[in-house]
Structure 1
Amino acid sequence: MKKLMIAAFAVLFMPLFLKAQFTISGTVAENGKSLPGASVRLKSNGNGVATDANGKYQINNLKAGKYIVSVSFIGYQSIEKTISIDKDQTLDFDLKQSAFLADEVVVRATRATEKSATTYKNLSKEDIAQNNFGQDLPFILNNTPGVVVTSDAGAGVGYTGIRIRGSDASRVNVTINGIPYNDSESQGIFWVNMPDFASSVDNIQIQRGVGTSTNGGGAFGGSLNIQTSAPAQHAYAEVNNTYGSFNTLKNTVKIGTGLIDNKWSFDGRLSRVTSDGFVDRAASKLKSYFLSGAYYGKTDLLRINVFSGTEQTYQAWNGVPEAKLRGDLEGLKKHYENNLDYLYYTKADSLNLFNSNNRKYNQFTYKDQNDNYAQNHYQALYAKQFSEKFSFNGALHYTDGKGYYEEYKNKQKLSKYALPPANVGGVDVTKTDLIRRRWLDNDFYGLTYAFNYIPSSDLNITLGGAYNQYRGKHFGQVIWAQYASTATNDYHYYDGKGNKDDFNSYVKVNYSPASQLSLFADLQYRNVNYDITGLDKNRNTLDFHNKYNFFNPKVGATYFINDQSNLYASFSVGNKEPNRDDFTNLKAGLPVPKSEHLNNIEAGYRITQKDFNIGINAYGMFYKDQLIFTGEVNDGGDPYRQNVDKSSRLGIELDGSYTISPKFIINANAALSRNKIKNYVDYVSVYDENYELIKVQATNYASPDISFSPNTVLFGELVYKPLSGFAIALQEKYVSKQFMDNTQNDTRKLDAYWVSNARIGYDFSLKGIKNINIGLLANNILNRKYESNGYTYSSIYPWGTVTENFYFPQAGTNFLLSLNLKF
């Protein structure tokens, strides 16, 4: 299979040495007035160029044949022309102003363009739809450069995660229509709260590295800029259904009015996704809806979005002990003995540990060991085109989230819950089995804005920003106990608050002093006030008041070799505040964590031709005070994080596609990197024979790899289209080994894995049905046994060092079959 990947890359780059024959060139204008920046594309493959400062374009290296040329520009009606060429041709376009403002203005301020001198990839609605079988959004993004995804339940439904360039979700900035989505406190992304959201997405831009200024938290690995669906031209209805392995079921209904009187549109979606999961009991019951209504004027746009997600997911977040995963009975007995006093195994727990399927093992057996959460989003988006040179777009938003996870706990001390002993038959009982709920009730609201000014064809200025507030309540309840104490079910054994105010403002400037050179500058100021008060889940007092002022400059240049290729380079600065756990899990006696700082250098080359496109990018990410896990955990099993002085990520990324013929297409990308901490100190707790902490042992490491940072991530896809509407795709994904901590120890790693998937799609129509799509997604067709995530910790006892590794196995061969109808 590796040979196949190498061959794919070789074929991908062959066109660099081939010379095509003909050229299309011309001018795009409105009533004789040139339109710089208009998009001119060939519909057969999406390749194309933007017009220069004089409205001129040129597409080279075209073979003889028939082409559909599409021209579009914001605020103007698109034009298509079909031509046949057997020689160089001049093709001019005269555009007319559109009767309404297009939805793309909503995200324009936070998007990168060819002139932004940064690294990005755009995914269209079609790209998203062909991979949407009901799995969470990370699995739809899995085929993009440097991305690694994982699923707690093993099959892509439920709790899923994404890493970009080795950075976890808390370092990936996500916006929806320019509005921040990351949780304000953990800074993570919980896709389980947005089931089947991909069905309401029009396009996504993935920026790797710091990227351009956006709203919300700092982007230390990348950013996802999501635009929700724009209206269809005509009324429609869709019914999308998927069924597959592990009783995975997706039902989606979509309706839309199309444009009414060229001014109004209304769209709606209702979805349900359920799955038993690959892992035992890791079931998910997910529901969501998306409603949108818009008014389109000639110079303004108003859109109201209301969308919601509700999830009930059985917990599978503890993973599988290594001895269980490997089928090591002696090792499993040692694991059982090491954890007997901590986990308080019941007879049922013990039978589950030793008798369940090795790869599907789930520690939890309580029937309601669920995570339950609901999230409601409200967005009001407005855009105004004051003149050809000046425009505005902004948004008001509110998100309401509330939910809990429920746990059955054995032999808990009542004092841990601030409860007095229970009196049973005149005897005080201090320990009991109980069921607890840990709640999160939060509100997130604010506004975003952007003004765009284009005084001349060679200058573009954007002033934008946002002000957002988060108010979060954290509290816990004991809803049942074997031996009841004096409290009622609504008693809170802890109450904590997290209040966060986030303001940012940025100015972006694109200036082209010459036709082949574009300069880019982006200056952002961000102010964050974050207060954490009350009691945490372990009833420790919280009283943190943090203020951060960040300056994030970005500069770059793009040199256009010709209309098809360019070189770019940029330098960007990013800053990021610590998350809630860095304070609540702060080790006694240590100073509060510092904010993180990143200097990011990007340089690359892009070329786009009729049959192929290639992007090559080199980057350096140099961190100051990056927060990393220290190896030590507290009494509750929560890991500590501390700042390290210096760390870095250096890498090369390649991304390209090649149309071999009308029937064969190759898509491929590669991410090669070196990820290091300059000096790392690992801490391990030392206990006596009575499990009492004696000391913490420190070990120095000079230059270890950063955890969960594979040095090689490869993807290749061969698409075969034997007939119109029918396509078969074979996909290959390789991820090299990853260390689960920062000691670069081979006994604490995730093994490298190579996974093969296949996708089949067939589109056709019948009378009364505009389009019927039948799709099949076959995952892991070679039935590889692999783990995509895990964690580790160690302790030292008089009888030796004990290291516990836990893994999240992914499913073997599994299938998803879809039937989608459009009316």
Structure 2
Amino acid sequence: MKKALTFFLLLQIFVSFSFAQGKVKGYVFDSETNKPLPGANVYVENLTIGSATDQNGYFEISYVPAGKIDVIASFIGYARQKKTVEIVPGAEVNLTFYLKPTVLPSQTVVVTALIATERESPVVFSNFEKQQIKDFYTTQDVPILLSELPSVLSYSWSGNGIGYNYLNLRGFDQRRISVLVNGIPQNDPEDHGVYWLDMPDLLASAGSVQVQRGAGSAFYGPPAIGGSVNIITSNFSLEPKISLFTGYGSYNTKKHSIAINSGLIENRYLFYSRLSYIATDGYREKSWAKFPAYFFSAIRYDENMTTQINLYGGPFEDHLVYRGIPKSWVKDKSKRRANLNYMDVTTRDDEIENFSQPHYEFLHEWRLSDNLVLNNTLFYIRGVGFWDMDASWADTIYFRLSSPYALKYGFSTSSQNPGEAIARYFIDLNQYGWLPRLMLKHDGGELTIGAEFRLHRGLHWGKIVWAQNLPERLPSDYKFYQYRGAKDIISYYIHEFFKLKPNLKLMASLQFVYNRYRVYNEKEFYDYDLGKWVSNEFTVPFYFLNPKIGISYDLTKNINIFGSFSITSREPSRRDLYDASDGHWYPWGKRPNFEVRPDGSYDFTKPLVKPERLFDLEFGGGYFSDNYKFTANFYYMDFKDELVKSGQLNIFGDPIVGNAEKTRHVGVELTFELKDLLINGFEISGNATISRNKIIKHGVYVWKNPYTGEKYSTPRRIPLDGKRIAGFPDNMASLRISYRKSGLFISILGKYVGDFYTDNFNLIPSNNVNRIDRKVDAYTVFDLTAGYKIDKVLSFKNVELKLQVNNLFNALYAGSGVGDEFYPGAERNYFVGIGFEF
């Protein structure tokens, strides 16, 4: 009797509890295709109950407590969706979720403060989306692909866009553009340069590229002066597949690649890998290059975390191209392909380069709550390799073979110069970094607090690989220079995006930057002026505070206006301070840019090259709709101590720069896009930049008047006030017309670049006695891209044929120049390829 009573009471409690619960069931679909999403997670927030959808997208959650609850549906590659429902005891609730495809969660680590959004961010920017990359990328490097964007100028040392390529933004070179991959800085910490060939075939694994124009547009890397370029890698697929591509083109250019996607494994893991090979003979003589490349990425998704690792790079080899040609050769088909060295003869066969720079990235996102996200990025970049250059111009003093060195290192004194010689320049660079970021969503906005911690350590040396005449007993590993360079980088920033009203947004940020250069362990050299052995070792710190404020306002549902003001400072590169690889010990070599004490030594606390400081004002607006887009932006950039080109190159082909006391850049940027105009599938887009880039106050000291040819017994100052700044075209424009129907795609791009000078004297034949011409002439180039895609052929899917014809009308032009050296663009050339999947 007692047992029966106990059983009855337990049964009554169970029944009462069961009737106090309910059930939630329903379906989860893709919002764009309306197809079911099997394996999607559906759960009750703050409870440990949930379910996964079946092959039909159906789910069912039982024993849901009565009352108001939040039900969340999530799936990899889609935005989460939340629905609030009231559970009535004993009842069932039917829900249907339509999830919107979005960027994979792994990429949110580089979004928010780094990426601008249309009609939200008061920032001037352009996007190059994944479809555009698929349409127009084959073998060309990033600068060439982006050259159609507003205010972007690119050129290539080899002429055909493979190898050493350079990108200018509003005329500012790569040293003054912050370049990032997944939010990780790519500018070299010592010389601020960007070497795209260290990241071969990166665009094949890119999901999007955003180019922001104007100061202070990046929080990591060197402070952005001209703007920033942020490449986001994302080539994952939720379905397993293998992709192949092969192609061939002018100058024996070829590309082969294979990419493997694992698809989603256990609803948690994704793997992607790519191997590729790009090779070319180059447009210019002896400008061949070979670029094997790899990219590997793995992601793990957890309920509140995303973890990703990336590994990419490629050990390349190429023949050196570091000199331009005389301007008179640019229009001469028989001479414009010449590749000259510092002996003004064709480069030697053994002037080659070998280098490898693997990138290791760890990206982690922890969603602490719906309103709080912590991101951490760790990275390591190692670059090691050498380049061999003709040094037949060098004597025993440059190579440190003269009597003081012979006595010190125990070899015989040479009675003659080395004669024909090849010198090897070697670097081993190591960079470590940590980029933490905390994002807090609050009423009306989002606050981001972040930091950057980077350490760079580099070993540099040079030695003779071969020479006609070498002293007896010279050690085989004898280095004629050697030193170590270092840079420590610490920055903190705070960034606020706040909606004052639904149509009024405020953005404000403040960044503190600390940079410290160091040169140490330099091999001693004999200073003939001081008559003793010396080595230069120093530490130079820089401190900056960079504020920015902007506002965005929607006048109507289609019209937006914005404005921003920023102050940005940037330190000179370490080479600007001291180029220890450029023969500084030489009696007439490049000396350290520091004040000289009365005893002839250098005061390394007083650098002669100053940081540049920019005041940047931007305002503009646009009209936005589904099929039409028009924007206009005005910028006013006022500089103090801008680092400008002197019109000279160092021995490695890099421009030598110095401070200009006061300069100014003013311009207007216009863009438009028209889609499905009159004919479905027809698109037209374009942009134009009209600017003025002037020296307001600046002068240089010369021994010879560049205009009259008069020589001076002592240096005289030549004023440059009112001159155009070297390297800045005043006018640029591009126009692209495309048509897409079914599997057919065809597009024509026209790019116009106005003239610009190669030095700040603005020398043209009519204003100097020697009729020197240092102006890159204006040019227009047209490119054609055509493709045809078939969904399935036999067992292959997405078979795509592609044809590119560059410089369609065979223009003979120079893409850029420095001083008397001009870099020719390739004549008409083509590339054809085929890609498919299975």
State TM-score, norm by structure 2. Answer: 0.79
CA-to-partner distance for each residue in 1:454-489, whole Å, 9 max, x for gaps? 122x12111112101100111101122212223223
SS at match of 2:251: helix
- Residues 411, 431 of structure 1: 8 Å contact kept: no
Root mean square deviation of aligned Cα: 3.1
Distance in 1, matches of 2:317 and 2:212, equals: 32
1:16 aligned partner:
none
The structure 1 residue matched to 2:461, chosen from 475, 492, 495, is 475
Cα 1:319–1:272 shift into 2, 3 Å = same
The structure 1 residue matched to 2:171, chosen from 159, 166, 174, is 166
Cα 1:258–1:548 shift into 2, 3 Å = same
SS at match of 2:398: helix
2:618 aligned partner:
602
Report how far residue 603 of structure 1 moved.
Answer: 0.9
- Residues 401, 413 of structure 2: 8 Å contact kept: no
Is residue 2:415 matched to residue 1:400?
no
Report how far residue 821 of structure 1 moved.
Answer: 1.0
1:330 aligned partner:
none
The structure 1 residue matched to 2:449, chosen from 422, 444, 463, is 463
Is residue 2:491 matched to residue 1:504?
yes
Residues 74-473 of structure 1: matches in 2 within 5 Å?
77-78=78-79, 102-108=105-111, 109-113=113-117, 114-325=119-330, 357-363=334-340, 364-410=346-392, 412-420=394-402, 428-456=415-443, 458-473=444-459
State TM-score, norm by structure 1. Answer: 0.80
1:786 aligned partner:
813
SS at match of 1:428: coil
Report how far residue 376 of structure 1 moved.
Answer: 0.8
- Residues 576, 593 of structure 2: 8 Å contact kept: no
Cα 1:74–1:317 shift into 2, 3 Å = farther
1:593 aligned partner:
609
Matched to 2:804, the amino acid is: L
- Residues 629, 641 of structure 1: 8 Å contact kept: yes
Report how far residue 543 of structure 1 moved.
Answer: 2.9
Distance in 2, matches of 1:434 and 1:646, equals: 43
Cα 1:431–1:696 shift into 2, 3 Å = farther
1:562 aligned partner:
556
Higher mean C-alpha displacement, 609-618 vs 445-454: 609-618
- Residues 100, 300 of structure 1: 8 Å contact kept: no
2:470 aligned partner:
484
1:346 aligned partner:
none
Report how far residue 98 of structure 1 moved.
Answer: 10
CA-to-partner distance for each residue in 1:484-507, whole Å, 9 max, x for gaps? 223223221111221101111111
Cα 1:241–1:815 shift into 2, 3 Å = same
Distance in 2, matches of 1:600 and 1:195, equals: 34
Distance in 2, matches of 1:781 and 1:555, equals: 44
CA-to-partner distance for each residue in 1:47-87, whole Å, 9 max, x for gaps? xxxxxxxxxxxxxxxxxxxxxxxxx999983599xxxxxxx
Distance in 1, matches of 2:116 and 2:383, equals: 31
The structure 2 residue matched to 1:725, chosen from 739, 743, 768, is 743
SS at match of 2:339: coil
Distance in 2, matches of 1:535 and 1:774, equals: 55
Distance in 1, matches of 2:32 and 2:623, equals: 14
Report how far residue 655 of structure 1 moved.
Answer: 1.6
Cα 1:467–1:429 shift into 2, 3 Å = same
SS at match of 2:294: strand
2:788 aligned partner:
762
Q: Which has the higher contact order (CA 8 A, sep 6+)?
A: 1
1:677 aligned partner:
695
Report how far residue 321 of structure 1 moved.
Answer: 2.0
Cα 1:582–1:538 shift into 2, 3 Å = farther
Report how far residue 116 of structure 1 moved.
Answer: 2.4
1:14 aligned partner:
none
Cα 1:411–1:717 shift into 2, 3 Å = closer
Report how far residue 537 of structure 1 moved.
Answer: 12
Cα 1:561–1:767 shift into 2, 3 Å = farther
Cα 1:537–1:121 shift into 2, 3 Å = farther
Is residue 2:830 matched to residue 1:820?
no
- Residues 79, 100 of structure 2: 8 Å contact kept: no
- Residues 683, 737 of structure 2: 8 Å contact kept: yes
Where structure 2 has 5 or more consecutive residues not aligned to the other structure, the ranges are 1-23, 25-30, 35-72, 82-94, 341-345, 528-534, 579-589, 597-606, 765-772
Residues 767-778 of structure 1: matches in 2 within 5 Å?
767-778=794-805
Is residue 2:660 matched to residue 1:644?
yes
2:62 aligned partner:
none
- Residues 414, 470 of structure 2: 8 Å contact kept: no
Residues 649-660 of structure 1: matches in 2 within 5 Å?
649-659=665-675, 660=677
- Residues 624, 646 of structure 1: 8 Å contact kept: yes
Cα 1:681–1:537 shift into 2, 3 Å = farther
CA-to-partner distance for each residue in 1:551-585, whole Å, 9 max, x for gaps? 11111111112333311101112111101221124
SS at match of 2:763: coil
Matched to 2:755, the amino acid is: K
CA-to-partner distance for each residue in 1:731-773, whole Å, 9 max, x for gaps? 1100000110112233210000011111101111223222011
Distance in 2, matches of 1:631 and 1:314, equals: 25
Distance in 2, matches of 1:98 and 1:663, equals: 23
SS at match of 2:108: helix
SS at match of 2:203: helix
Cα 1:74–1:368 shift into 2, 3 Å = farther
Report how far residue 693 of structure 1 moved.
Answer: 9.6
Matched to 2:427, the amino acid is: L
Distance in 2, matches of 1:292 and 1:633, equals: 39
- Residues 249, 832 of structure 2: 8 Å contact kept: yes
Distance in 1, matches of 2:699 and 2:673, equals: 43
- Residues 737, 748 of structure 2: 8 Å contact kept: yes
- Residues 115, 520 of structure 1: 8 Å contact kept: no
- Residues 680, 704 of structure 1: 8 Å contact kept: no
Where structure 1 has 5 or more consecutive residues not aligned to the other structure, the ranges are 1-30, 32-39, 44-71, 81-91, 328-355, 793-804
Report how far residue 99 of structure 1 moved.
Answer: 13
- Residues 99, 298 of structure 1: 8 Å contact kept: no
1:738 aligned partner:
756
- Residues 100, 263 of structure 1: 8 Å contact kept: no
Report how far residue 619 of structure 1 moved.
Answer: 0.9
1:339 aligned partner:
none
Report how far residue 632 of structure 1 moved.
Answer: 6.5
- Residues 294, 313 of structure 2: 8 Å contact kept: yes
The structure 2 residue matched to 1:696, chosen from 695, 715, 724, is 715
Report how far residue 611 of structure 1 moved.
Answer: 1.4
1:798 aligned partner:
none
**Identity level (%):** 29
Matched to 1:223, the amino acid is: S
1:550 aligned partner:
544
2:21 aligned partner:
none
Distance in 1, matches of 2:100 and 2:798, equals: 31
Report how far residue 426 of structure 1 moved.
Answer: 11
Cα 1:431–1:101 shift into 2, 3 Å = closer
SS at match of 1:142: helix
Distance in 2, matches of 1:287 and 1:633, equals: 30
Matched to 2:463, the amino acid is: Q
Report how far residue 94 of structure 1 moved.
Answer: 5.9
